[in-house]
Structure formats: C-alpha cells, structure tokens
Chains A and B, each alone.
Chain A
Amino acid sequence: MKNNDTSRREFLTAALMAGIAGGCSSNNTFRPGEDQIIPSGEMVKLLSVDGEIIEVDKAFLKPIPELPPITNSEERIGIEGKKFVMVIDLSRCKNVGACKSECNHAHHLNPGQNWIKIHAMQEAEHTAPYWEPATCMHCDEPPCVKVCPVDATFKRMDGIVLIDSDRCIGCRFCMAACPYSTRVFNWQEPVAEKEIATQHYSCETSVPQKIGTVSKCDFCPDMARKGELPHCVSACPNGVFFFGDMNEDSVTNGAETFRFSDLIKDKAGYRLMEDLGTKPRVYYLPPVNRNFPFETGLKTDTIEKNNAK
C-alpha cells in the first residue's frame, strides 16, 4: 500500500509540474519579449509535456489562475467518466470532529450548521456503542431529487447530488424526504466575509450559502476537479474517510489506497438503511477491531468542541 501511495503522489506532482510547464512553453502565455519580464537569474527545474526536465527562470513562472469557472449546465452534468464513492471506516472513528470543523470552515457554514454529523449510535441496550460520521449519502435513487419541484437539487452522471441555491425556492420538501436528515436550511442571512458573500454561487463549491435555501454535503467536486480529496477526508487524523472512484475501483484516505471492491468484501462493508432502496454511494465498514474504545470519544473537550459548532 505504501508503495502505491508514493507513486500516486509522484504522479500528482509530476502532473502539476507538467501543467505549469505546459503553461510556460505555450506561446500564448509566455512571451518574454512582449511582457518585458526581467530574468531573476534563479532557475527552477520543471517537467515538460514531453517528459523532459527543463530549466526555466523563476521570473517567467506565472501562477496558474484557478481552474476556469464552469457553467451551471456543466455543473449539472458532472465530471465525465467518474463514479464517486466514499467509504467510512467506523473502526477508526473516535469523534475527533476534525472532518466536521474542516468542512464547516471550507464551506463557510454558519453556527448551528453541520453537513457532517457524528452520531453516537447504539442499536439496542446490549449492543456496542460506536461513532458514526454521516455525510450526504449521494444516493443513486435520491428521495430528495425525486421530490424537488424545480430541479434545484439534482443527480449528476458522476453520482454526486448537488443543490443549485440560485434556483431553490425553499420549500424544504427535500429535507422531509431525506431519511438521513442530512440537509440543513439557511433560516437567516448567512454570515460570511464580504469577498465570500459576493462570489458568484457555484453548485460545486456550494459557496456562498444563500438565505432561504437548502444546503448539504456536496462531496467537494471542486476538489475532485483539482485532483484533491474532499476536506473531511484530508482533515481526519485517523483516516476514517476514504474517497475514490468506482470506475477506477480505488479509494484513498490520503495515506492509504485500497481497491474499493476488495475493501468492501474483506471488511464486510454495508450501506445505511438499505431497506429503503435509496442506494447510497457512501459505504460503511463495521466498527470491529477498533482503534479506539467508544469512550475516548466522550472526552468532554471533543464533545464541547463539537457542540459549540
């Protein structure tokens, strides 16, 4: 597994470099004569598109702007060739809450709003308690999408269920329909810094939050487009969350990468409320052979931290 991971990182680094190099060698973006850039003398090594290492003066490197904004209709179609999937390993969770706070921070959620909820579960009196982080399940038969009267919440080709807050009329039927209670509502004007609040709304970042509309976990497709993992996955110190692509049959939590089908088979993965027929895209690994006893998650500091959010 370790091997697998390093090679992936190398690949990503190389790909990123190639992107920069590509930007540099293109005539359109790199015209030293016109732009009058004075070479600094400091050289950097880059990987060219042809796979050769080249040296370029640092002054000629321009930061690539953020990926070009995509249109609403592209956002509604999704990322081609992907089928995103998440695996949550309950044997590793001890209610640290880093997933939640990172998610809240990244999506500028307001106090009282949490897209990720960490439930303290106990099925029956004599069964074992465990921590169950719950995101949006991005169901393949999404009850929320079925009931939306204006197509404001929709299912994409890549499996992700998103919300168009510029279209949502705030009827909250989707909240009643969702059996996982994953959706939150902006009951008042969301508090956000001006530069965030004035941004153009994007379904993929779910930012900025809009008053009188519904929001929820979006599987961070904006991060996926950049080749990065969702915020909760990278934030979790215990590697609880695995994210990946079903078509590639691989999931990773950043440190470990698994073949998705093997992982589910070996660890007897399951989905929540299978009997409802919603077909979630989030799989759970049962809380067996746990890394932490349930009680460690009850420590008052974590609980307080979580409730304060």
Chain B
Amino acid sequence: MENSTSITSEIITNDLLPQKFGKLGMIWTGVLIAFCLVGAFAYYLQLKNCLSVTAMRDYVSWGIYISNFVFFVAISLVGSLITAVFRLANVKWSTPLTRIAEIIAVSAILFASLIIIVDMGRPERLFNLFLYGRLKSPIMWDVIVIGTYLFLSLLLLYFPLLPDLKILMGSRKGSTKKYNKLYHFLGSFWKGGRLQNMLNKRAVNVLCVTIIPVAFCIHTVTSWLFATTYRPGWDSTNFGAYFISGAFLVGAGGVLIAMYIFRKAYNLEKYITEKHFDKMGRIVVLLALLYLYFNVNEYLVPAFKMKKSEDAHLTQLFAGDYAPIFWFAILAGMIIPILILIFKKGRKPLPALIAGILVVVGAWFKRYLIVTPTLLHPFLPMTDVPENYKHYFPSWQEWAIAMGSLAGALLIITFFARVFPIIPIQETINEQHETTAK
C-alpha cells in the first residue's frame, strides 16, 4: 500500500468507518428505490394477470427473467473467486476487495432466487418444491446448490465482519451510532480473544474451501437447465465450463466498477490503490480471454458443421435479427475490454471502470442471447399459433421487473456499505502491522 508506513490504526479506522450518504448518495439511493418501486408495481400487475403481462408465449417460454437469473447467478460467483480462491492462494493485495466481492455475491444470489420466483406461473405453489420435490430435475439441483451457496456466502460475509463489528460498537462517530443495536445483535459475543480469532480464521478457511465447489456447482447446474434439453444452441457439453468462465468474467468486471465507485464515494484512494486496478485489470484480461476461448468453441464448432437444426439459430445470431446484439456482446463484453486492459495505461482507474462497465453490460446481453433465440428455433415449425407467438420482445412489465431487480441488488450493496465498513478494518490494520513489522 502506498504511504502505508504513515498510517496508524486510528486513521485506518476513521477512514474506513461507514459514512452518511452525501447528496450524490441520496440521489443514487432515491433512483434505485424508484426503480424498485416501478418493478414492484409491475410485479403486482403480473400477480393480478399472471404471465400474460409478459411477452413470453408458448414458443419463447423463457425470456429476460431467466436471462436475468443467469446473469445474477453468474455475477455472484465473484464472491468465491476474490474471497476464497485468492485467500487460499495467499494473495494479499485482494484484502480490501473481499468484502466488496462478497456483498455483490450475496445480493446477486438473493435476487437470483427472487427473479426465478417471479418467472413462475404459480409462485404461491413454491412450497410444492419441498412437498413433492423430485431430485431428478435439474431445478431441484439448482434449488439445493443456490440455497447452500447463499448460506455459505452469508457466513463468509459475516465471519470476517465480526472483528469490525467490535470496532463499530466502540466507535463514537455519529454516523454509526444509530446502528449500534444492529451491531450488538450481530456481534456482541465477539470479544476478539486469541481463541475466538483462531476459531474465526479456521472457520473462514473451511468456508473458503467449501464454497469453491459449491460456486462451481451453482453455475454448472444453471447451465444444465439449458444443456439438459435437446434445443439447438443449448445442447452442448461445453456449457458448464462456458458459463463458469463467463461468470468469473462478469463478476470481476462488476468488482472493477464497484472498486471505482466506492473509491470515489468514500475517498478510499489510500486503500483501493491504482495497484489494485492494475491487478484486477490483468485478471479481467485473463478471464475475458478464457471466456472468448469458450465462445469460439461454443459457436465455431457447430457453425463449421451447420447441422440443419443449428443452422437457423446460428445464422440468426451471426447475420440475422440478433446479429447486432450478438456482435455487441462479443465486442463490448470481451474484445474491447481486453484491448483496453491489456495496456498498462488502460489499467488506470477510469479506463478500467469503462472496461468493467462494458464487460457487465455485454454480459447481460450475452445471457439474453443464450436464452431467447434458441427458443425461436424449435425442431418442428411454429404452427397453429397467433402471429405474436413467433417473436419476442420483452413487455414494459418485464423490463421494469428485470431492471427493478438489478436496482434492488445495487440497493442492498449500497445500504450494506452505509451500515458496515466496505473495506475490512481489522484485516487492514493487521496487514498494516505486518508490513511495518517487516
């Protein structure tokens, strides 16, 4: 860390304590709440009129709710990448990013579960999954692994927070005082003794080891929701790896954006340094190359053969109605970010932010392309259905609910950063001591 030698524990604590929203923060939160309210209203309409308010019909029976679900599951994988993989690999520089990654994971996986309920025709029958659940169905696998992942992610967010809760309770600063009850509820048992610290450390290590296979499971199983069918574009043995590489990429892109925003909003330049952007930038390049590689496999191999069932689907993507989105997702989601971040100048905060935004936006559209165009190319012709069944463009209610869910996930992250330190205080202090001791 730059200037690290001059930073004392008090300064670190003071710098990293949660702060009140500024004017921009208020506007940001207000906008997010507005989006959520519009989404909630749209969902109210949907509950009243069932899924007829969507543009989904018998052929395109899955739309942006499902692509949004895949997007959420994908971005949630970053929690395991930054926290678990880096921690186990003993990567020290990622410490200030762990909590950012973990709260992204928790909020994304929460909204993944919500959006899948939104997609159900009979949400009030959700309990049927527990009454009559069949383990043979990939949906049950998803229910199980997503539940497990959410639980592990919450623990992985909570355990490293414990030492910080003690600091928060001891703080006299006005901005944290009103949350004291919450801090007490969550962490009053934490005394910070040697034994507690050791147990906590061990628990976090166990969690890190367990969460990696679970993270692989959630996205592999999500990819199997598609790959276990016969449909052209989904019927692929490449899907699990393809989804996971894409997930790590979008998650890392999301962290780039979050790093930039938190750094600006809370003046964390001393903690989230240009070095972090440099390192994260390199990781994004690596992940984008990996994802590009899987894309080449996913599209070029079937395109070489052009089986009849794949032909219509692939032609639509490469040169048909979906070509603009397809090439946007490939260029903006992978190639341009690589071109930006491969240069040292591109790994400065601002260009890295732009690359991160491109990655995330490209990834959202990529998920749309994975879900919808396939359904428009069934094996048998589309016959004996009204004309509007043969196309799909999401209705305003679908957009409102999808955007509302994205806003909701951001809102959780925003509120979390308001109540808890977004950069681990105790760990930063500890590392500070280690570096000065050397």
What is A's interface to B at a CB cutoff of 8 Å?
100, 112, 114, 116-121, 134, 143, 146-152, 167-173, 175-177, 179-181, 183-189, 211-214, 272-273, 276, 306-307, 309
Contact = CB atoms under 8 A, between A and B. Distances in A.
Contact of B384 (A117, A188, A214): A117
Nearest to A210: B122
Contacts of A187: 50-52, 54, 56-57
Interface string B33-44: 000000000000
B289 interface: no
Contacts of A116: 384
B434 interface: no
B121 A168 contact: yes
A117 B134 CA distance: 30
Contacts of A167: 125, 128, 132
A100 B50 contact: no
30 contacts: A112-B385, A112-B389, A118-B383, A118-B384, A119-B383, A143-B229, A143-B230, A147-B229, A148-B137, A149-B139, A149-B140, A150-B133, A151-B134, A169-B122, A169-B123, A170-B120, A171-B120, A171-B139, A172-B121, A173-B139, A173-B225, A179-B231, A180-B379, A181-B379, A185-B61, A187-B56, A188-B50, A211-B122, A306-B384, A309-B384
Contacts of A114: 384-385
Given A114-B385, A175-B58, A150 B379 contact: no
A150 B128 contact: yes
Contact of A185 (B58, B126, B384): B58
B380 interface: yes
B381 A212 contact: no
B230 A212 contact: no
A307 B384 contact: yes
B62 interface: yes
B351 interface: no
B380 A172 contact: no
Sort A-B residue pairs by CB-CB distance and give the 6 closest, nearest first.
A170-B121, A212-B121, A188-B52, A149-B139, A149-B137, A187-B52
Chain A's interface: helix, strand, loop or mixed, by majority?
Answer: loop
Most buried by B among A121, A143, A149: A149
B52 A175 contact: no
Contact of B129 (A169, A172, A175, A184): A169
Given A180-B380, A189-B50, A169 B125 contact: yes
A121 B382 CA distance: 11
B125 A147 contact: no
B386 interface: yes
Contacts of A186: 50, 121
Interface of B: 49-52, 54, 56-59, 61-62, 119-123, 125-126, 128-129, 131-134, 136-140, 143, 225-226, 228-231, 375, 378-386, 389
Nearest to B126: A169
A112 B388 CA distance: 10
A165 B244 CA distance: 35
A181 B381 CA distance: 9
Contact of A119 (B50, B125, B381): B381
Contact of B134 (A112, A118, A149, A273): A149
B380 A181 contact: yes
Contacts of B386: 112
Contacts of A176: 61-62, 226, 229, 231, 375
Most buried by A among B54, B140, B229: B229
A152 to B, nearest CB: 8
Contacts of B225: 173
B50 A169 contact: no
B190 to A, nearest CB: 40
Contacts of A188: 49-52
A168 B380 contact: no
A134 B378 CA distance: 14
Nearest to B224: A147
Contacts of B123: 169
Given A179-B378, A307-B384, 20 more contacts: A118-B383, A119-B380, A120-B383, A146-B228, A147-B137, A149-B140, A150-B129, A152-B132, A169-B123, A170-B125, A173-B137, A176-B62, A177-B229, A179-B379, A181-B378, A187-B52, A188-B51, A211-B50, A212-B121, A212-B122
Nearest to A115: B384
Contacts of A143: 229-230
B196 to A, nearest CB: 42
Contacts of B62: 172, 176
Contact of A177 (B59, B126, B131, B228): B228
